[in-house]
Amino acid sequence: MTYSNEVHQTGTSSGLAQLRDASSTTAGLNAIIQWATVDTFRGSSVCSVSSGVITLPAGYYYLLEGVVGCLSTSAGWDAHFQFYDENASAYVGTKAYLSGDIGTEGEHYDAFSMDDCARLWVDATSSAGSISLREQAVVGPLDRFDTAGPGGRQNTGYSRCLVWRFD
């Protein structure tokens, strides 16, 4: 092991918020994930949400990371979730790939990579950003979000989106 006494400046966020509770989302192709709660952990006015659209105030850079907890009564399903730029009308960032099955074995309820998430960098230094997280490329129907499954088990965890704000 080696040690370096050099000082390196790292990126420190000026704000951190979590969007959660997608239980009012109606599943469907291109459906917008409906966030019900915004928790601000650091800073103030990090973001706001209305009808699932996340508004990112101008003057900052943002990193968004979203994951969706969902349930299907279909045997074998796959779904992709991706951020959508409402201003440019285009899907942006990396996709989250989820997969599951019905049954009683716990591993069938886990996300494809245990907690796969969509990620997006947003440059909102000159104008506010309007971003949503949407369901796309579904194989087998998704029935519900953020709900306990058979036996009261939570399937892939609760939906959430972390929003980091950088100066």
* Residue 152: strand, helix, or coil: helix
pLDDT at 106: 43
Question: How high is the pLDDT of residue 109?
Answer: 46
Say what the pTM is. Answer: 0.81
Tell me, what amino acid is at 104? Answer: T
| End-to-end Cα, the chain, rounded Å | 34
Residue range 118-144, pLDDT digits in tens? 999 999 999 999 999 998 877 766 666
pLDDT score of 1 more than 50 = yes
166: its two tokens: 């950088």
Look at residue 76 in the predicted model and tell me its pLDDT: 67
User: What phi and psi values does residue 124 have, to the nearest 5 degrees?
Assistant: -110, 30
Tokens 């699932």 belong to residue: 52
Q: What angle do CA 112, 115, 118 make, to 5 degrees?
A: 95
pLDDT in tens, 60-119: 999 999 988 776 666 666 778 999 999 999 999 999 887 765 544 444 444 444 457 899
pLDDT classification of 26: cutoffs 50, 70, 90: confident
